[in-house]
């Protein structure tokens, strides 16, 4: 296991380069693999998750080549998905679980789909895909009978009508993908839709590859698919990852004499995590947003009440910001944060309490009571095998006096592989070590 040692840093200054979006990369790979023709994906986010996704789509018959280090050419199956010859293991990627389940729902053969302990024991939300798939003629077996992986799935969706609960976006992804690939019309009704900004990102990619749909009334409660031909091939350079800038930007906000710039972000990107920069502005951040540059400077933050349903992945980041703000911060409507790589609500609450914070855990969020009577302190904290937990805690460590040791630092690679290097170049006192 890798650990990250963090020491208080008196100034964080410079430009931090962020990676390509793993979220866009997955969508591009999945849709290229079922398309007609050969797609070119330029500068995707390379990681162990990307490698497993390539293996999965190859098992369905896609041909994937890498003619240059950052270019992948994907010849799709043109709608003729083959039965995977092996089990598909998504490790701890809930997004990949959802996307591959969607492909399994479009495949006439059997798929066996599993993942790591977090996928098999924490992703309770996965059960929400079972009923709508069954209504559309897909066989879905949760082998433990608990609605979580391992799954055995046999398609395929080819017309029909279904209803489902939409509190978490990932099961909705699965059904939308299978419905979009149906040759016959499909109608999907979604009760209590949540995390809709992440749904927008999938619909953005449907538009890009020519998959017809209607989000009736723009409500995310009723989708109509007229019956589609196979997706069309494309040539796309992957946008930069919007979940990455908050870490270096927050580091600048809460450390003295700091200024950090992040360049190249696409402000028109529908990715929901983009909204975290506006949340930080709401908290009083001196954060300048320009078309090609985000600039954060040392700031005095203030507590706010924030509905984070559209950006639950950023709960750890905002919780850390709240510890350095004046007044109370209420994070609400983010129940789905409990079903990520870890239960992020419980994990953030536990680790911040270890560090001396006054925090109240709620079912759908947290309250950070920063009344000025406490400051975070160092020690040893758990990264929960979760990249976002490790990075958020590392930012906190830059603004406290004592040393902070964070476990599971190897997980940073999942979304921001160069994070430690980039932050050290900007002045962060980071040290990776094995134990």
* DSSP states of 179-201: HHT-SS-EEEEEES---HHHHHH
* pLDDT surpasses 90 at 1: yes
- Give the C-alpha separation, 160 to 254, whole Å: 53
Cβ atoms of residues 87 and 103 within 8 Å:
no
User: Per the annotation, where are the binding residues for phosphoenolpyruvate?
Assistant: 22, 94, 170, 344, 388, 414
Give the mean model confidence (pLDDT) for residues 107-116.
97
Domain 2-19+240-434: CATH architecture, name and number where available: Alpha-beta prism (3.65)
Give the mean model confidence (pLDDT) for residues 36-64.
96
Three-state SS letters, 381-435:
ECCCCCHHHHHHHHHHHHCCCCCEEEECHHHHHHHHCCHHHHHHHCCCEEEEEEC
Give the mean model confidence (pLDDT) for residues 345-354.
98
Name which of 285, 311, 290 is nearest 388 in CA terms.
Answer: 311
Name which of 272, 102, 123 is nearest 188 in CA terms.
Answer: 102
Give the mean model confidence (pLDDT) for residues 359-374.
98
Cis amide prior to 150 (ω within 30 degrees): yes
- Give the C-alpha separation, 117 to 17, whole Å: 32
Q: pLDDT band at 236, cuts 50/70/90?
A: very high
What is the domain class of 22-237 according to CATH?
A: alpha beta
Give, for 88, the enclosing helix (H) or strand (E). Answer: strand 88-89
Q: pLDDT band at 267, cuts 50/70/90?
A: very high
- Give the C-alpha separation, 300 to 256, whole Å: 10
- Give the C-alpha separation, 52 to 341, whole Å: 17
**pLDDT value for 66:** 98
Give the mean model confidence (pLDDT) for residues 259-288.
96
* pLDDT surpasses 90 at 184: yes
CA dist list (Å): 13 to 9, 248, 400: 11, 10, 17
Cβ atoms of residues 116 and 91 within 8 Å:
yes
DSSP helix/strand/coil, 58: helix
- Give the C-alpha separation, 359 to 352, whole Å: 7
* pLDDT surpasses 90 at 177: yes
User: Per the annotation, where are the binding residues for 3-phosphoshikimate?
Assistant: 22, 27, 170, 313, 340
CA dist list (Å): 243 to 102, 145, 265, 271, 275: 24, 34, 11, 9, 10
Give the mean model confidence (pLDDT) for residues 68-80.
97
Q: pLDDT band at 46, cuts 50/70/90?
A: very high
Q: pLDDT band at 94, cuts 50/70/90?
A: very high
Q: Which two tokens stand for residue 355?
A: 């560090």
pLDDT, mean over the chain: 97
In this chain, the answer to whether the domains covering 2-19+240-434 and 22-237 adopt an identical fold is: yes
Q: Which two tokens stand for residue 135?
A: 């209504």
- Give the C-alpha separation, 200 to 218, whole Å: 10
DSSP label at 94?
Answer: H
Q: pLDDT band at 10, cuts 50/70/90?
A: confident
Q: Which two tokens stand for residue 186?
A: 């499909």
Give, for 369, the enclosing helix (H) or strand (E). Answer: strand 365-370
H-assigned helices in 38-192: 48-59, 94-105, 117-121, 130-135, 169-180
Domain spans of the chain, in order of start: 2-19+240-434, 22-237
- Give the C-alpha separation, 171 to 306, whole Å: 25
Residue 46 φ/ψ, nearest 5 degrees: -85, 135
* pLDDT surpasses 90 at 319: yes
**pLDDT value for 122:** 87
Give the mean model confidence (pLDDT) for residues 102-121.
96
Q: Which two tokens stand for residue 339?
A: 């079903």
User: Per the annotation, where are the binding residues?
Assistant: 22, 27, 94, 170, 313, 340, 344, 388, 414
Q: Each residue of 192-228: pLDDT tens digit?
A: 999 999 999 999 999 999 999 999 999 999 999 999 9
Q: Each residue of 415-435: pLDDT tens digit?
A: 999 999 999 999 999 999 998
Give the mean model confidence (pLDDT) for residues 171-200.
97
Q: pLDDT band at 392, cuts 50/70/90?
A: very high
Q: What angle, 0 to 180 degrees and rounded to 10, lies between the N-to-C axes of helices 315-323 and 344-354? A: 20
Q: pLDDT band at 275, cuts 50/70/90?
A: very high
* pLDDT surpasses 90 at 156: yes
* Residues taking part in catalysis: 313
């Amino acid at each position: 296991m890798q650990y990250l040692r963090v020491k208080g840093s008196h100034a964080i200054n410079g430009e931090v380069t962020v990676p390509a979006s793993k979220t866009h990369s997955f969508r591009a790979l999945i849709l290229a693999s079922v398309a007609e023709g050969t797609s070119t994906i330029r500068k995707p986010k390379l990681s162990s998750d990307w490698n497993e996704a390539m293996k999965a789509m190859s098992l369905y018959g896609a041909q994937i080549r890498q003619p240059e280090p950052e270019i992948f050419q994907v010849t799709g199956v043109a709608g003729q998905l083959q039965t995977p010859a092996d089990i598909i293991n998504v490790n701890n990627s809930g997004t990949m679980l959802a996307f591959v389940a969607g492909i399994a729902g479009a495949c006439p053969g059997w798929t066996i789909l599993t993942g790591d302990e977090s996928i098999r024991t924490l992703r309770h939300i996965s059960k929400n895909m079972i009923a709508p798939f069954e209504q559309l003629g897909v066989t879905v077996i949760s082998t433990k009978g608990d609605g979580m992986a391992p799954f055995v799935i046999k398609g395929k969706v080819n017309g029909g009508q279904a209803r489902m609960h939409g509190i978490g976006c990932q099961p909705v992804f699965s059904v939308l993908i299978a419905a979009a690939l149906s040759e016959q019309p499909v109608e999907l009704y979604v009760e209590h839709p949540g995390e809709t900004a992440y749904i927008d990102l999938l619909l953005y990619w449907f538009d890009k590859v020519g998959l017809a749909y209607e989000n009736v009334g723009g409500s995310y409660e009723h989708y109509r698919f007229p019956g589609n031909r196979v997706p069309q091939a494309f040539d796309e350079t992957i946008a930069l990852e919007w979940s990455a800038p908050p870490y270096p930007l927050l580091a600048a906000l809460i450390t003295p004499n700091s200024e950090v710039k992040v360049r190249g972000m696409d402000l028109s990107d529908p990715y929901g995590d983009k909204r975290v920069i506006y949340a930080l502005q709401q908290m009083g951040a001196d954060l300048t947003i320009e078309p090609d540059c985000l600039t954060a400077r040392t700031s005095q933050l203030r507590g706010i009440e924030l509905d984070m349903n559209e950006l639950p992945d950023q709960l750890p980041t905002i919780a850390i910001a709240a510890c350095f703000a004046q007044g109370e911060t209420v994070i609400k409507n983010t129940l789905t944060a409990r079903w990520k790589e870890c239960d992020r609500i419980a994990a953030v609450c536990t680790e911040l309490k270890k560090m001396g914070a006054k925090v109240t855990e709620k079912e759908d969020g947290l309250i950070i009571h920063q009344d000025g009577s406490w400051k975070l302190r160092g020690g040893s904290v758990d990264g929960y095998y979760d990249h976002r937990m490790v990075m958020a805690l590392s930012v906190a460590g830059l603004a406290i006096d004592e040393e902070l040791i964070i476990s599971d630092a190897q997980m940073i690679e999942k979304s921001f592989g160069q994070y430690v290097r980039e932050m050290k170049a900007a002045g962060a006192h980071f040290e990776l070590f094995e134990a």
